[in-house]
Amino acid sequence: MDILDDIDPIEEFEEYCNQARYDLVVLQDEAKDRKLVTLEEIESGSEIVYDYPLYEVSGSCNDALFAKILEIVGGEGEADKATMYWGAFHCLVQEQFTDGKRPPCNCGLGASHQLQEQIQILHPETCDREITQKVAELLNIDLEVIDFYHELFGAWVGNAFDSSGPDEEYCGAIYFLPSMINHSCRPNCCWSLSEDNSFILRARREINDFEELTISYLPEKIIKRCTEERQNFLYDTKGFTCYCDRCEEPDCVRTIRCNACDDFLKPVSQDLWQCQCGNEWTEDEIEKKEIFVQEEDATSIEEMLGPLHYLTEESWTEKNVTNLQKRLYFLKTHQLYNSGEVAEVLEALGDLQVDATKEWYNPENAAQCFDEAAELSGHLFGTDSEVHQVNRRKMKLALKDHADNQKQKELKPLNLELPMNGRDEDGKKREHSTKKFRKRQDDQKKNMKEKFAAGS
Ligand SMILES: [Zn+2]
Ligand SMILES: [Zn+2]
Ligand SMILES: [Zn+2]
């Protein structure tokens, strides 16, 4: 399999690909679709790309100019769009404003022609030009530059990553190489941002040579949903229809309890569900049942759809041990296990079990959960990531808690001489072992007597 024969690598990316830790190449087919491909095998958990932002902006409503853009694009709900216009504005150079007058902003940062060229190479999203016209007027952009400004805006929309921290309001950053990474609903890579907003790409699983590198463009809540909902979301927010492996397969996040036996009907093709008993349902029937469950009878949702249906998974809202364990099972079964969400669920499961006031208190199990969460987050986000280190710390505390409990248990038998009023589990055990001990002593005495008698 040599894909390099059919598709040309794009030269502009060569330099960037050389900076990566693996031998990567950006390919472009006739439809101008680009993809990032690895030429060598990549081990699971490896860091593949570490890339500084080409440009990053932070828009705050304290900045009068940003506030005005936000107003033009439609207020708070359209903050993302305003941030993209804000980013494109910062990529313009002095002479592209009418009479060379760039309206002042708080950061005062500018751009270079080289940066503009790099951003132009990125795939632009087609956007509504009318609003651009209004924003351009506000920003005093030269009439002849408006089309170019719209192009830059499109590149931001198509390629920017949301880098908003908890404090700053609206931040976006645009990267060169990461802009070439396509979406998959079952991605082989995951990305995170470092403290300095650098883009870090890691392998979620082992990746073969000549395999395309993919990430998910979906929020974690959506990636768990059915194919139709994932595709609609991607179309609405990113303007494309996904045809990844997972989208082409039978939709396994939709199962229904069989009406002929106790098992569940599972999809065997795009429009046929089957049970091991031979029962069959069509897509239409399944859809009707799902609508019925959502509208009529949400309480027995798990009973009707089973623990592997995405609607059931969404019904486990209460954070208790049972629900969290069911959630892990759902994610594991649907090959969504190597994700940040799993680390979160494991951590929550650990947190519950270190609470000594609750009936599910079990620091030993908690330590295991934290350990697994630390392992997974180290794999996905690196061992220097906050989430990895927090879980390592929590694991140590839980282990100490467990060890202290063990020590107390070991201390108890020393009190054997004291009168035992306790009728707890341990008390019974001790009483029992004391009896055993006495019996052994009695037996020994008996044996000695017998020996003595026999020898004499
Ligand atoms: Zn600024
Ligand atoms: Zn897909
Ligand atoms: Zn059946």
Supply the pLDDT for residue 415: 53
Confidence of residue 75 (pLDDT cuts 50, 70, 90): confident
pLDDT of 425 over the 70 cut? no
Query: Which residues is 190 bridged to in the sheet?
Result: 202
Supply the pLDDT for residue 6: 54
Ligand with smallest separation from the Cα of 58: 1
Tokens of 218: 């979906």
Contact residues for 228 (Cβ-Cβ < 8 A; gap 6+) = 251
Residue scoring higher pLDDT (395 or 159): 395
Supply the pLDDT for residue 430: 41
Ligand with smallest separation from the Cα of 183: 2
Ligand 1 centroid, distance to 84 Cα (angstroms): 13
Ligand 3 centroid, distance to 396 Cα (angstroms): 47
Distance (Å, whole) CA 358 – CA 20: 49
Q: Are 369 and 346 in contact (CB under 8 A)?
A: yes
Distance (Å, whole) CA 261 – CA 36: 47
Tokens of 390: 């927090």
Ligand 2 centroid, distance to 236 Cα (angstroms): 14
Closest CA to 61 of 85, 83, 90, 81: 83
Distance (Å, whole) CA 332 – CA 176: 33
pLDDT of 412 over the 60 cut? yes
Distance (Å, whole) CA 206 – CA 402: 35
Residue scoring higher pLDDT (63 or 4): 63
Lowest mean pLDDT among 33-47, 115-129, 254-268, 383-397: 115-129
pLDDT of 436 over the 60 cut? no
Confidence of residue 29 (pLDDT cuts 50, 70, 90): confident
Lowest mean pLDDT among 68-77, 385-394, 442-451: 442-451
pLDDT average, residue stretch 20-37: 87
Ligand 1 centroid, distance to 62 Cα (angstroms): 12
Supply the pLDDT for residue 294: 85
Supply the pLDDT for residue 442: 58
Ligand 3 centroid, distance to 290 Cα (angstroms): 18
Q: What share of the chain has pLDDT > 70, as a percent?
A: 86
Residue scoring higher pLDDT (324 or 1): 324
* Per-residue pLDDT tens digits for 201-244: 999 999 999 999 999 999 989 999 999 999 999 998 888 899 99
pLDDT of 333 over the 50 cut? yes
Supply the pLDDT for residue 428: 42
Confidence of residue 452 (pLDDT cuts 50, 70, 90): very low
- The single-letter code of the amino acid at 48 is I
Spell out the SS3 assignment of 250-285.
Answer: CCCCCCEECCCCCCEEEEEECCEEECCCCCEEEHHH
- The single-letter code of the amino acid at 19 is Q
Ligand 2 centroid, distance to 223 Cα (angstroms): 9
Confidence of residue 14 (pLDDT cuts 50, 70, 90): confident
pLDDT of 198 over the 80 cut? yes
Ligand 3 centroid, distance to 328 Cα (angstroms): 25
Supply the pLDDT for residue 240: 87
The β-bridge relationship of strands 214-215 and 182-183 is: parallel
* Per-residue pLDDT tens digits for 83-129: 999 999 999 999 999 999 999 888 878 889 999 988 988 888 888 89
Q: Where are the beta strands (DSSP E) in 1-98?
A: 8-9, 24-28, 34-38, 47-51, 55-59
Ligand 1 centroid, distance to 105 Cα (angstroms): 5
pLDDT of 50 over the 80 cut? yes
Supply the pLDDT for residue 262: 87
Report the mean per-residue pLDDT for the chain: 86
Closest CA to 92 of 39, 55, 51, 66: 55
Distance (Å, whole) CA 99 – CA 161: 33
Query: Which residues is 51 bridged to in the sheet?
Result: 199
pLDDT of 71 over the 50 cut? yes
Lowest mean pLDDT among 58-72, 153-167, 329-343, 365-379: 153-167
Residue scoring higher pLDDT (212 or 16): 212
Ligand with smallest separation from the Cα of 257: 3
Ligand 1 centroid, distance to 191 Cα (angstroms): 27
Q: What share of the chain has pLDDT > 90, as a percent?
A: 60
* Per-residue pLDDT tens digits for 235-265: 988 888 999 999 999 999 999 999 999 899 9
Ligand 2 centroid, distance to 254 Cα (angstroms): 16
pLDDT average, residue stretch 126-148: 92
Phi-psi region of 210 (alpha: psi -120 to 50; beta: other; left: phi over 0): left
Q: Where are the beta strands (DSSP E) in 42-118?
A: 47-51, 55-59
